[in-house]
Structure 1
Amino acid sequence: MFNKIISSISITVLVFAMLSGHSHAQKKPQNPLVKPRDFSSFPDFGYMVSVADYEEMYSDHPVFKLKTNYPRKLPKRSSLPKALKIDFVKDWEKYMDSVKQYCFAGNIPEWNPHKNKQRNWYHIPWLHPSSPTFPPNGGTEGFHGLIKEAPVGSYQLHHTQTNNYQIYAITLINEYAGYTMGKMWKDKNNPDPGATDHRYGGGFPEGTIFCKLLFADVQPDDNSVPYLENPIQWQGYITESWNSPTRAVRYLRLLQMDIMVRDKRADKWMGWVLGTYAYNGKLNKRHCKDKEKDTKCRFKNLVPLGLQWGDDPDVTDNIINAYPYTKTKTNPKLKQTVINPSPDLPPQHLGWGMRLNGPADLNTSSCMSCHTASQFPAITPLVPPDATIANGFAPPPNGGNAAWMKYFINIPAATSSDPRAFSTDFSLQVAMSLQNFADAKTKNDEGYWAVEFGTGRKPVSRAQQD
């Protein structure tokens, strides 16, 4: 989940200009995604050590390769995830376990869909460039395809944590989501943003699942977040700090996993079910007896944090788990969020009004409030005004008023919160990919292909060349 996203001013102005003078809400927004260049294939990543350094020092590391051979036909209903047969309200824990096992099958420990022999998973393209707006110096790195997501301030993860961190993430989408991505990117030079907007027959189908791993750049000698002991640890070519333009090979630890499930039983709320799991390395001995250093086994240390299927628009309590916190406080008024009461879950700050949010996210928003702002171009801000004014140490001054609550209404799937924009159907990364492609019209975004880092590599054109 992102803390903030800002659209390209030029693209937004272009869309506004094209829409000015038209009062019909159902009129399709003008598609600004005109051909910038001829891309025969998507670049795999945007930032990497030099080929020479890779061969000399990192040849035992993976090289990220995008997987976008999306299905052309909608997968059969017989392949729908088993979680869709579990009541996510009454049996939320079974639902979360079923989705977790679905995400894990064939994907762990490497999280590489090319090696999955059980089912097809894919990536979202066009996340490789750095946006001119947010996040600073972003774009995918070349070992694991991690993208920069959010900063983490002091005490956000634990009451003993004073260091600042940054969050990097990698998302896999299943074949149902892949079908919609295939429609959007059928022509790689002219993506169709209407593919995720219900006004134009778009939207992700039932059974769509997004699974995202989120890592914090907690270094091996840093013990200020106790539950991140016995870590799942990767190395990535990432920035040295949130605002730094300099990249280096640094360690990251798995912090959480987020899921999104398109479940039609949730249509009376928003049509999506969102969930979060938090890593707790203190459970490693229990989960991985006699194989405590087995990375695949350590994925069992992801503990369900909670599930959300609506944003409880009638609950206006302006309360938060302010930093620093030592326990998870919940709100019994919430009926569309459930938080795991198990002591296996490390203390959590949650979101505004104690709605669901993960440790990497703000305590003044919610999973749903962020994802309802998924649109292209990004006209609606990702978080309410003043959401970050106190940096999580106090409730927002205007929390709960009418303007604030506009961010906590239940918006149906594939519906844009602003009719001037295309809905990207709850996917912020799809919104980012479309914006990145649009930005490429006016500048040359270099990208790299995995084959450039393999033995016996052959020359491959960069993205700026025809």
Structure 2
Amino acid sequence: MLRTVSIATAMVASLGFAALAIAATAPKPALAARSERGSLPRFPDFGQLPPPEVITPDRVFRLAQDFPKALPPPEPAVQRILAIDFRKDWQGYMAATLAYILEGNIENRALSDTFFLEDNKARPWYHVPWQHWGDNGREGLHGLTAEGPVNPHVLNPLQQNQWAAYAVGFYNARGGYTIGQVWQDANNPRIDAVVRDGGFPIGTVVAKLLFTTAPVAEAPLLSNPIEWSAYVKDKFSAPGPTGLPINPRHLASVRLLQVDMMVRDPRADATGGWVFGTWIYNGLQAKVRAPGQTFDNRWRNLMPLGIAWGNDPTVTSFPGGNPAPLKTITNPDLKETVISTDPALPPMHLGYGLRLSGAVDNVESSCKSCHSAAQYPAISNILPGFSMKNGRYLTPKDPEWMRWFRNLKPTEAFDAGAVSTDNSLQLAGSIQNFLAAGNITSGGLYATQYYKGRKIESIYGSRGMTKHSK
């Protein structure tokens, strides 16, 4: 009889970090307390579902919204992550975090049934509400929301077309507590709750799975894919002047391209309090399946791209970046970022100054840069390249550009006059969506949707945008 191999053992063995084998034998942590759900959920689960003549799914996405009423204690698995020095052993840190994210979400099930959080018996995870609203809101099969465009050539020189990126993100129990504090009253979110509590608690882990509509023919790294069926647009679009979508949704296959993580780690307090990491899917590998492995072997194809715990605020070298990569180029001047030099990693464009930025992310920004602009109201755009000065867009030659690469404290807002949501763009966006829905139901506008007479910036849909996106 084959021995059952845990996620932690298999992922660690795959990545060659024997020191993490303790994760496979440690006792299971007790589940964090879940708040009781009433007869009906407080928040909608999704906003878009294919018509029944197209598909009648066996199950639909369910928002994990039973947020803890009290702050749960740190899990042993998270304590083990926080015991690894991310500066000295960044790959070990990421391997332990990936095992934590995958455990309970992928074992003993088809790929189509992975990451339904209500099925997780290892630990609870939670979604941010109010992602369902709008033309690009949550679809109902897997809870995916539109992230932005995937522009030509960013995935591969063969990529001739623009495609779309879709994602679903979730927070562990300690992060779920903070979300619940903001949304304690479903009709009156407390924007100041994050700052009041000093930001997200130590040990918060955030994960996001990013999929693309790009075909394998234009992105060979998507070979042997992890695919979901979803109700999406092939190309990213926002509502046009008529209020109708430019591109219609349809039932289509989307392929996993990237997984992101954020870990609230006190050892990163001097540079903002969070450790960011990204994995890239590379289906061109031939990973060996472990005996007794209980999950689909394709999950082994996730390769660590890099890790960042700061924005390197003084580094301005390599301003042109690597927007259409034939190979991955790294910047030796960066001291708060580490990028993988594994030759098996597909070429990556990275971000501004070659900071950490994933395959679907913006070439003019970075993971940490975008998230540092999480605030309400969104006075500044989350991207420097979409910010104006004297009637023109900023460029890296403008000194204001580096405002987007500061190391802000968790409770420090990007702009004076705003309230920080501690690097949570989803949380800031949920408040935007809540008020936008109120515009419809009330027939009016709110002053908080404006700053000095100017409509505040939209948080959603900017991830891969550049001024040349079409």
Q: Same fold (TM over 0.5)?
A: yes
Residues 67-106 of structure 1: matches in 2 within 5 Å? 67-77=64-74, 79=76, 81=78, 82-106=80-104
For structure 1, the 5+ residue unaligned runs are: 1-38, 131-136, 389-395, 446-466
Residue pair 1:364, 1:387 contacting (<8 A) in 2 also: no
1:201 CA drift (Å): 3.1
Instruction: Provide runs of 4+ in structure 1 moved above 6 Å.
Output: 289-292
Amino acid at match of 1:230: N
Residue pair 1:288, 1:298 contacting (<8 A) in 2 also: no
1:48: which partner in 2? Answer: 49
1:78 CA drift (Å): 5.0
Residue pair 1:227, 1:281 contacting (<8 A) in 2 also: yes
1:165 CA drift (Å): 0.6
Amino acid at match of 1:336: E
2:379 and 2:202 map into 1 onto residues whose CA distance is 27
1:154 and 1:76 map into 2 onto residues whose CA distance is 45
Amino acid at match of 1:161: Q
Q: Secondary structure at the match of 2:69?
A: coil
1:249: which partner in 2? Answer: 251
Question: Out of 438, 441, 448, which is 1:441 matched to?
Answer: 438
For structure 2, the 5+ residue unaligned runs are: 1-39, 238-245, 443-470
**Taking structure 1 as the reference length, what is the TM-score of the superposition?**
0.78
1:123 equivalent to 2:93? Answer: no
Residues 45-194 of structure 1: matches in 2 within 5 Å? 45-50=46-51, 52-53=52-53, 57-60=55-58, 62-77=59-74, 79=76, 81=78, 82-108=80-106, 109=111, 110-130=114-134, 137-194=135-192
Q: Secondary structure at the match of 1:268?
A: helix
C-alpha spacing 1:340/1:189, structure 2 compared with 1 (3 Å): same
Residues 5-404 of structure 1: matches in 2 within 5 Å? 41-50=42-51, 52-53=52-53, 57-60=55-58, 62-77=59-74, 79=76, 81=78, 82-108=80-106, 109=111, 110-130=114-134, 137-197=135-195, 200-219=196-215, 222-243=216-237, 244-283=246-285, 285-288=286-289, 296-385=296-385, 398-404=395-401
C-alpha spacing 1:263/1:400, structure 2 compared with 1 (3 Å): farther
Amino acid at match of 2:282: N
Amino acid at match of 2:72: P
C-alpha spacing 1:291/1:281, structure 2 compared with 1 (3 Å): farther
Residue pair 2:322, 2:354 contacting (<8 A) in 1 also: no
2:295 and 2:249 map into 1 onto residues whose CA distance is 26
Structure ranking higher on relative contact order (CA contacts 8 Å, 6+ apart): 1
1:163 and 1:398 map into 2 onto residues whose CA distance is 25
Residue pair 1:273, 1:309 contacting (<8 A) in 2 also: yes
1:346 and 1:90 map into 2 onto residues whose CA distance is 24
C-alpha spacing 1:156/1:290, structure 2 compared with 1 (3 Å): farther
Q: Secondary structure at the match of 1:237?
A: strand
1:322 CA drift (Å): 3.1
What is the RMSD of the two structures over their aligned residues, measured on CA atoms?
2.3
Q: Secondary structure at the match of 2:287?
A: helix
Residue pair 2:316, 2:353 contacting (<8 A) in 1 also: yes
2:445: which partner in 1? Answer: none
Amino acid at match of 2:184: K
Q: Secondary structure at the match of 1:331?
A: coil
Amino acid at match of 2:213: D
1:317 CA drift (Å): 1.4
Identical counterparts, % of pairs: 42
Aligned length: 384
1:424: which partner in 2? Answer: 421
1:40 CA drift (Å): 6.1
Cα deviation per residue 1:148-184 (whole Å; 9 max; x = unaligned)? Answer: 0010111011111112110000012100101111111
Q: Secondary structure at the match of 1:159?
A: coil
